[in-house]
Structure 1
Amino acid sequence: MATLTVWEFDSPHGAESASKTLQDLSRQNLIVVHDAAVVQWEEGQKKPKTRQMHNLTGAGALGGAFWGMLFGLIFLVPLLGAVIGAASGALSGSLADVGIDDKFIGEVREKVTPGTSALFVLSSDAVLDKVRDAFAADKPQLIFANLDESQERALREVFGE
């Protein structure tokens, strides 16, 4: 089963650095990354930059339309030119079915602000102790995971929260 997690970093370049670590972990088969995207928000900018990590996408990837709609809903910035319009209501309802609702959108909006960044990851099969060690220096804050309570506690423990 895949898990969608969102990690927030205290700098606009933290998520980019963590994405490289994530790629290394994936190459070592320590985590299966189905899809991922980075949000970087420089101080003084009105909107963040968003990027889907194409080199990680594979079977089970969410695709640019998903990321575009999600980031459009959160930051009013579509990724890859995804159109936000009449379909947004239907898609928003579908996202709510997997826990991406107004509460999620509000929490991400509140925490990912100018001067920060975020890494959005759809993954499975993580070797938790190896992942914990690899991310120790980054100290990200988990702001969302569609996991049950015990799984979320385990992830928070792995990432040093």
Structure 2
Amino acid sequence: MTSLTVWTFPTADGAGDALGLLKQLQRQQLISISDAACVSWPEGRKKPKTDDLGSLTGAGALGGGFWGLLFGLVFLVPLLGMAVGAAIGALTGSLAHVGIDERFIDSVRTRVTPGTSALFVLAEDTVLDRVVEPFKETGASLLTTNLSAEQEERLRDAFGEAPR
């Protein structure tokens, strides 16, 4: 089963500092990363800095288009206001069909704010209890949503990757 996890950190550099831990967990085969992105939001900045990390061992499964859409919904929508509400509602609805609903987006939006950071990870075959423990030591909090095989296929189709 594929999951989208968001590890949020209480500092702007926490996610960057935790990348080594994420790579180590992947080497230990406790997580199989399909795609990942890092967000850091220093205090005083109007918007966060985002980096597409791929699979951490090569090209990512979905690439920048997926992360751009997701980050746009999380970080830009509050700035744009109600003027684009109908279009945003349609985009949010289309992501809900792939297991990323408005409640999940809102949860991320409330946790990733100026002075914080996050690692966004699309992963398969995660041994979650063995992955959560090491991240607790970093001060990270976890948000997660699971994608069914059908939802994952829709997501890959939407962003140009052939189904598995």
Map Cα deviations across residues 43-86 of structure 1 (whole Å, 9 max, x no partner): 11110000111352668712110000100111129xxxxxxxxx
Task: Identify the residue that residue 159 of structure 1 maps to in structure 2.
Answer: none
Instruction: Please give the residue correspondences for 1:26-37 in structure 2 after superposition, counting only pairs within 5 Å.
Output: 26-37=26-37
TM-align CA RMSD: 2.8
Amino acid paired to 1:51: D
Q: How many Å separate the matches in 1 of 2:108 and 2:60?
A: 23
CA contact (8 A) 1:35 1:58 kept: no
Task: Give the unaligned 5+ runs of structure 2.
Answer: 78-86, 149-164
Range with greater deviation from structure 2 (59-68 or 41-50): 59-68
1:103 and 1:136 mapped to 2: Cα distance?
Answer: 23
Q: Give the share of equivalent positions with the same residue, in percent.
A: 59
1:62 aligns with 2:62: yes
Aligned pair in 2 of structure 1 residues 43, 132: CA closer, same or farther (>3 Å)? Answer: same
Provide closer, same or farther for how the CA distance between residues 4 and 57 of structure 1 changes in structure 2, counting only shifts above 3 A: farther
**Judging changes above 3 Å, is the alpha-carbon distance between structure 1 residues 143 and 30 closer, same or farther for their aligned structure 2 residues?**
closer
* 1:79-127 superposed Cα distances (whole Å, 9 cap, x missing partner): xxxxxxxx86654332011332332222211111101111111112234
Q: Would the aligned equivalents of 2:104 and 2:145 in 1 still touch at CA under 8 Å?
A: no
Aligned counterpart, 1:109: 109
Checking the alignment, whether the CA contact within 8 Å between 2:36 and 2:55 is kept in structure 1 is no
| Structure 1 partner of 2:145 | 145
From the superposition, tell whether residues 131 and 144 of structure 1 become closer, same or farther in structure 2 (CA, over 3 Å): closer
Residues 31 and 125, structure 2, Cα contact 8 Å, conserved in 1: yes
Q: How many angstroms apart in 1 are the aligned matches of 2:88 and 2:61?
A: 20
Separation (CA, whole Å) in 2 of partners of 1:19 and 1:33: 12
Residues 1:69 and 1:30: Cα distance change in structure 2 (over 3 Å): same
User: For 2:90 and 2:56, how far apart are their aligned partners in 1?
Assistant: 28
- TM-score, with length taken from structure 1: 0.73
Point out the more displaced range, 122-131 or 104-113: 122-131
TM-score calculated relative to the size of structure 2: 0.72
Distance 1:119 1:49 in 2: 12
Give the aligned partner of residue 4 of structure 2: 4
Which structure has more RCO (C-alpha within 8 Å, separation ≥ 6)?
2
- C-alpha spacing 1:109/1:128, structure 2 compared with 1 (3 Å): closer
Secondary structure at 1:138's aligned position in 2? coil
Query: Alpha carbons of 1:92 and 1:40: their partners in 2 closer, same or farther (altered >3 Å)?
Result: same
- Cross-structure match for 1:158: none
**One-letter code aligned to 2:22:** L
2:74 corresponding residue in structure 1: 74
The number of residue pairs the alignment matches comes to: 140
* 1:97 alignment partner AA: H
